[in-house]
Amino acid sequence: MPEFAARRRRLMSQMGRGSAAVFVSAQESNRNGDVDYPFRQDSTFYYLTGFEEPNAVAVLRPGHDEPFVMFVRPHDPEQAIWVGPRAGVEGACERFGADAAFPIEELDEKLGGLLSSATTLYFPFGEVEHSHVEPLIARHIARRRAAAQRGMAPLEDVRDPLPLVDALRVVKSRAEVAALQAAIDATGAGLVAAMRATRPGLHEYEVQAILETEYRLAGSPRDGFPTIAAAGEHSCTLHYTANRARIEDGDLLLLDTGAEIDYYGADVTRTFPANGKFTSAQRDVYQIVWEAQAAGIARVRPGVTFHSVHNAALKVLVQGLIDLRILRGSVQSNIERDAYRPYFMHGTSHWLGLDVHDAGIYRANGKSTQLVPGMVLTVEPGLYLATDAPRVPKRLRGIGVRIEDDVLVTPSGRRNLSARIPSTVEDLEAIVGQG
Ligand code: GLY
Ligand code: MN
Ligand code: MN
């Protein structure tokens, strides 16, 4: 609870006095018939409240006697028989630190009063899950406009709170790094178990099952995103999630996966030969990606730009494509012409945290974001030599390699939080199929 309270305090100090913010929880969503999708709280709502139930609203009012007000589903003995108890109005105060709490049914009636003294209102318009609250906010704005004509304090400004929250979310606290490390360690256990078990003849979904079994056994209630288990040519499909194919002798297997613990998700990719031995063509490609990744990771430190991590990895990849005789000319000219794009078509990094592609901006006013201690980013270069890609020699066709680690920016440089998960050719050949 102190962690969530500290986040709210930090946000409220930036919002300033005379303002109020309204945040809305995720909603339950029907899957089919009487079955809903498993519920997961909206990341921003969780970040600010720690509250894991749907149909809730949080109001923040800096400088007010009751700065944190929640609207939640009240206790319901009938519902509790089926799905267990809710925190209820009492729990919102006692367990989640609300200064006041009301049944969600009273939102319409009470919201206007709570916001009436604010001159700046923060609300993230446009989010699909907020559509049921937007009309209440719109009505409040209209009423304030009318009231201002009668001499009441006007609502001067309506702003989006997400840039403020996202700027907080992009720099992780110790508790957040600890949760990420737990998720990464669970992911490592899964990847090592999957490497040991892999052999030709298994199916992609069987390896996926091994990964996800380890995650659950490590205390991860769900994955952060759908597992990519891509054998052979499927490794060239960036977000392949069908995972139905048989793994053949001679295939590479690309696993891009992440357990989630306490809402923080890992995002790690390993690519290895299903039979435990890289072919010379596979090793050539793998080694280029490995060195590109090492160059990207080495670049991570406070003060350098997000984009320069990409540039460091990209130069190595392009030199590799020239060495493989897929590209011709200089590294620089190939980068200027985007000639590498058919083989490397995604960014090298993204922020990592509550969302796998986490909150935080990458560029503002034409300038790439500078890294500061506490940021966590992936470093994930790849080469994808699909059979229909241009100028790929026969021996390299169908090879897709991505290597992805999760890197914390520290005051002195970086810590690769997933470094313990095997990724060198030697380590992979020693482990694959040995289980
Ligand atoms: N797993 C999605 C990504 O690597 O961005
Ligand atoms: Mn990623
Ligand atoms: Mn990934």
What is the DSSP pairing of strand 19-24 with strand 222-223?
unpaired
Tell me, what's the pLDDT at 180?
98
Pocket of ligand 1 (CB under 6 A): 225, 256, 267, 350, 356, 380, 404
In contact, 166 and 361? CB cutoff 8 Å:
yes
Q: What strand order describes the sheet that includes 268-273?
A: 228-231, 252-257, 268-273
Q: Catalytic site residue 78?
A: no
Tell me, what's the pLDDT at 262?
98
Amino acid at the residue 205: Y
User: Among residues 234, 384, 405, 406, which one is catalytic?
Assistant: 384
pLDDT of 128 > 90? The answer is: no
Closest CA to 51 of 37, 69, 77: 69
Give 49 Cα–ligand 2 centroid separation in angstroms: 26
Give 260 Cα–ligand 3 centroid separation in angstroms: 13
Provide the sign of the torsion angle of the four alpha carbons 72, 2, 65, 165, taken in this order. negative
| Average pLDDT of the segment spanning 66-83 | 97
Q: Which structure tokens are listed for 173?
A: 């606290």
Number of neighbours of residue 275 by Cβ within 10 angstroms: 18
**CA-CA distances (angstroms) from residue 214 to 75, 189, 222, 259?**
35, 6, 11, 9
| Per-domain residue ranges of the chain | 2-168, 171-431
User: Which DSSP helix (H) or strand (E) runs through 122?
Assistant: strand 120-122
Counting from 1 in the atom list of ligand 1, the atom nearest the Cα of 228 is 1
Distance in angstroms (rounded) separating the CA atoms of residues 237 and 248 = 17
pLDDT of 193 > 90? The answer is: yes
Closest CA to 358 of 292, 266, 271: 266
Q: Catalytic site residue 402?
A: yes
| Average pLDDT of the segment spanning 284-297 | 99
User: Among residues 34, 65, 109, 338, which one is catalytic?
Assistant: 34
Q: Catalytic site residue 108?
A: no
Distance in angstroms (rounded) separating the CA atoms of residues 155 and 109 = 19
Give 185 Cα–ligand 2 centroid separation in angstroms: 16
Tell me, what's the pLDDT at 239?
95
Q: Catalytic site residue 64?
A: no
Distance in angstroms (rounded) separating the CA atoms of residues 248 and 235 = 13
Q: Calculate the average pLDDT of the chain.
A: 98
Give 79 Cα–ligand 3 centroid separation in angstroms: 38
Q: What strand order describes the sheet that includes 57-60?
A: 100-103, 68-72, 57-60, 19-24, 120-122, 157-159
**Placement of tokens 């006692």 in the chain:** 94
Q: Find the radius of gyration of the CA atoms of the chain.
A: 25
Confidence band (pLDDT; 50, 70, 90) for 76? very high
Q: Catalytic site residue 384?
A: yes
pLDDT of 425 > 90? The answer is: yes
| Average pLDDT of the segment spanning 175-194 | 98
Q: Catalytic site residue 36?
A: no
| Average pLDDT of the segment spanning 118-128 | 95
Tell me, what's the pLDDT at 260?
99
Whether domain 171-431 has CATH 3.40.190.10: no
- The reply to whether 171-431 shares the fold of 2-168 is no
Number of neighbours of residue 208 by Cβ within 10 angstroms: 21
**Assigned CATH topology for domain 2-168:** Creatine Amidinohydrolase; Chain A, domain 1 (3.40.350)
Distance in angstroms (rounded) separating the CA atoms of residues 105 and 72 = 8
pLDDT (tens digit, 9 = 90+) per residue, 228-271? 999 999 999 999 999 999 999 999 999 999 999 999 999 999 99
Q: Could you give the residue ranges of the DSSP H alpha helices within 358-415?
A: none
Query: Residue 281, class by beta-carbon neighbours within 10 Å (0-12 exposed, 13-18 middle, 19+ buried)?
Result: middle
Collect residues with CB below 5 Å from ion ligand 3: 256, 267, 404
Tell me, what's the pLDDT at 129?
87
Q: At what angle do helices 204-217 and 174-197 cross, to 10 degrees?
A: 140
Q: Catalytic site residue 157?
A: no
pLDDT (tens digit, 9 = 90+) per residue, 149-182? 999 989 999 999 999 999 999 999 999 999 999 9
pLDDT (tens digit, 9 = 90+) per residue, 314-361? 999 999 999 999 999 999 999 999 999 999 999 999 999 999 999 999
The secondary structure of 51-69 as a DSSP string is: ---SS-EEEE-TTSSS-EE
Distance in angstroms (rounded) separating the CA atoms of residues 143 and 95 = 34
**CA-CA distances (angstroms) from residue 35 to 28, 31, 83, 84, 134?**
10, 6, 13, 17, 27
In contact, 230 and 400? CB cutoff 8 Å:
yes
Give the residue, out of 211, 225, 268, with the most ligand 1 atoms within 8 A of its beta carbon, to mutate for a pocket test.
225
pLDDT of 277 > 90? The answer is: yes
Distance in angstroms (rounded) separating the CA atoms of residues 107 and 121 = 16
User: Among residues 267, 358, 405, 406, which one is catalytic?
Assistant: 267
Give the residue, out of 191, 255, 269, with the most ligand 1 atoms within 8 A of its beta carbon, to mutate for a pocket test.
269
Q: How many helices (H) and strands (E) does the chain have?
A: 13, 21
| Average pLDDT of the segment spanning 83-110 | 98
Query: Residue 145, class by beta-carbon neighbours within 10 Å (0-12 exposed, 13-18 middle, 19+ buried)?
Result: exposed
Distance in angstroms (rounded) separating the CA atoms of residues 209 and 186 = 14
In contact, 306 and 371? CB cutoff 8 Å:
yes
